[in-house]
Amino acid sequence: MRTEVSAALLWDGTTLTTEPVIEFEDGKVTSIRSRAEKEQSEGAQHIDFPGAVLAPAFLDIHIHGAAGHDVMEATPESLSAVSRFLASRGTGKFLATTVTAPLDTTLRSLEGLSRRLDEAQKPDWAGARPLGIHLEGPFLSHSKRGVHPPEYLLTPDIALFDRMFEAAEGKIRLLTLAPELPGAEEFAAHVASRGVRVSVGHSNATAAETHRVIAAGATSATHTFNAMRPLDHREPGILGTVLSTDSLYAELICDGIHVDPSLISVWWRSKGAHRAILVTDAMSAAGMPDGEYTLGGFPVTVANGRASANGVLAGSVLTLDRAVKNFVAFTGVPIETVLPLVTQNPAAMTGLQNVAGDIRTGGPADFVALGKDGQLLASFVSGERAA
């Protein structure tokens, strides 16, 4: 059935227009026009969201799981459950994110995820589509490992990365790396040469060490502030470098738990509308009640919306729609200004701008309707209303 959706504003990934109408059929956008251009198409279902903003469905580049499942399970059931849940919260695309684990476990997960990613590109896939893999670990700092198991952390190893890359059949899109590790510069350059984006994080690096890995090819930072050397006025370290390097993208977990709202404003002023990226770092408990869950196989307790293992934060239960709403509330930034942080910016950083981050005629009908406060009003993924 042909469907038309109208609202007060449309941000399509580049342009803000008033009184828009998006028409779609069979999961594809057939036209984007102004309400004044033409009356409602005969025979089309019409849905109106007065006062709302239409925008591309979100892209989450850092998510470990949801709906009781971890992406490292890499089964059809687990990825389907995660995908359906994400679609219900406005996310249309994502990077399945691993956590440090035994090498054989990681390799099996990468092989399974590669198969699931192939399945997700088929027309009958329901829910958000995984577009690649984010390898968070094992090339992280022991001193800033967070909950990543120390016994499985490794120093950068090009041959090992190539083995992982082949297990994933080239589908690794993003890799987190601690810049101070031995061989990090050469490793970053090699990873970047294979088309994988390097993100600095889980690190106690100095400013000089961080700058060298950026020069070698790093383009982003993993969950800014968290698992990073604290800022010092004589040694800016990795955090100072992330905040002051204009070319560097930077993730942030905007749940009010991982980062104090006052520092979220500092991050925003530092990175701005073209380099800031909101992520969830969500684990299997997202969308679930408080209780006992797992992250990459190790136990995590969730209580009052806080996920932790032995007292250390272990991902989050955040969703991107909530992150957007929080960001509007914490900073006072208009909703239309926030939208690139969950669409265009993550797509540009990962090189996925041709398949995510915008709404275009002929493209998938993946979009959301949001209130001025960032509240999710509706979510459409492949033309199906998921929320």
Q: Give the tens place of pLDDT for each residue, 329-368.
A: 999 999 999 999 999 999 999 999 999 999 999 999 999 9
Concatenating the DSSP letter of every residue in 215-231 gives HHTEEEESSTTTTBPPP
Is 373 annotated in the active site?
no
For CATH 3.20.20.140, list the domain ranges present in the chain.
Answer: 58-356
39 has pLDDT over 70: no
Which band of pLDDT confidence, cut at 50, 70 and 90, is reported for residue 291? Answer: very high
| CATH number attached to the domain at 3-54+372-385 | 2.30.40.10
| Cβ atoms 369, 39 nearer than 8 A | no
The pLDDT of residue 42: 74
For CATH 2.30.40.10, list the domain ranges present in the chain.
Answer: 3-54+372-385
The pLDDT of residue 287: 98
Is pTM beyond 0.95 here?
yes
* Superfamily holding 58-356: Metal-dependent hydrolases (3.20.20.140)
Q: How many CB atoms are closer than 10 A to CB 312? A: 13
**pLDDT tens track for 50-95:** 999 999 999 999 999 999 999 999 999 999 999 999 999 999 999 9
Which entry of 12, 60, 281, 366 is annotated as an active-site residue? 281
